[in-house]
Amino acid sequence: MPFNVTYVEARVAAAIMLQGMTAHYLTHSTFPLQEGQTALVHAAAGGVGLLLCQLAKMRGARVIGTVSTEEKAELARGAGADEVILYTEKDFTEETRRLTDGEGVDVVYDSVGKTTFDGSLDALKPRGYLVLFGASSGPVPPVDLQVLNQKGGLFVTRPSLAHYTATREELVWRAESLFTWIGQNNLSVRIGGSYKLSETDQAHRDLEGRKTTGKLILLP
């Protein structure tokens, strides 16, 4: 399969591959968003979160994001989030219910895990999808599947990028889509920080301290 894209600057190319293809498979394959649906995106100012907001809007969805600070809220809004919840000030489940007139959302894209899992289930409408693709707050404890029935016949999935780039055709489709959108200025990649390889430990500390936004890159 040919791989034809416009030129993309090297740092942007390095920043987009992992998180960009993650956002692509989440919105296009795991739960293919449709126009008029509503998505809740946790960590909406993070590397994947900012891309998720943009791709969800491309597909015509309404986007509700969660972030920890007003600065991050502005970034999420800039990426297309229609509503942003500061989870440090308000209960994100209650706010999501309020913003959807008590209905809930069609899908939650959750990279946080342990601290958001139960609330994410409660933010879904009946037969909604919780897509758990990370665990920045720790792994989710074992779940009684009967809970999914009690909360409305919900679905939960735990995908990974490897499952959605299983063939070369699929990998090329995702990568080519991303580079084309970037080349056409339809997708913005935020590089939140650049570190020397010798500063890798500091990059990890900044990530753990939730001091970062967008994608971090290491430079030789």
pLDDT band at 7; cut points 50, 70, 90: low
The reported pLDDT for the residue numbered 127 is 98
Write the CATH number for 47: 3.40.50.720
Hey, which residues does 216 pair with through a beta bridge? 193
How many other CB atoms are there within 10 angstroms of residue 106's CB atom?
21
Classify residue 80: in a domain, yes or no. yes
Q: In what order do the strands lie in the sheet with 62-67?
A: 83-86, 62-67, 38-41, 105-110, 124-132, 155-157
The reported pLDDT for the residue numbered 178 is 95
| Domain hosting residue 127, numbered range | 34-164
pLDDT tens by residue, 60-77: 999 999 999 999 999 999
**Phi, psi at 73, each rounded to 5°:** -60, -40
Q: What is the spatial distance between Cα 20 and Cα 187, in angstroms, rounded to a whole number?
A: 10
Classify residue 16: in a domain, yes or no. no
Classify residue 218: in a domain, yes or no. no
Classify residue 217: in a domain, yes or no. no
Instruction: State yes or no: pLDDT of 213 exceeds 90.
Output: no
Classify residue 215: in a domain, yes or no. no
Instruction: State yes or no: pLDDT of 88 exceeds 90.
Output: yes
Classify residue 4: in a domain, yes or no. no
Task: Give the orientation angle of helix 70-78 with respect to helix 47-58, to 10 degrees.
Answer: 40
pLDDT tens by residue, 47-62: 999 999 999 999 999 9
Classify residue 176: in a domain, yes or no. no
Whole-model pTM: value is 0.88
Mean pLDDT of 14-35: 94
Decide: 193 and 206 in contact? Cβ < 8 Å. Answer: yes
Among the listed residues 152, 151, 157, 128, the one whose alpha carbon sits nearest the alpha carbon of residue 37: 128
Classify residue 187: in a domain, yes or no. no
pLDDT band at 6; cut points 50, 70, 90: low
User: Residue 208 class from Cβ within 10 Å (0-12 exposed, 13-18 middle, 19+ buried)?
Assistant: exposed
Decide: 216 and 42 in contact? Cβ < 8 Å. Answer: no
User: Number of structural domains, the chain?
Assistant: 1
Q: What is the spatial distance between Cα 182 and Cα 184, in angstroms, rounded to a whole number?
A: 5
144: left (phi over 0), alpha (psi -120 to 50) or beta: beta
Mean pLDDT of 172-200: 86
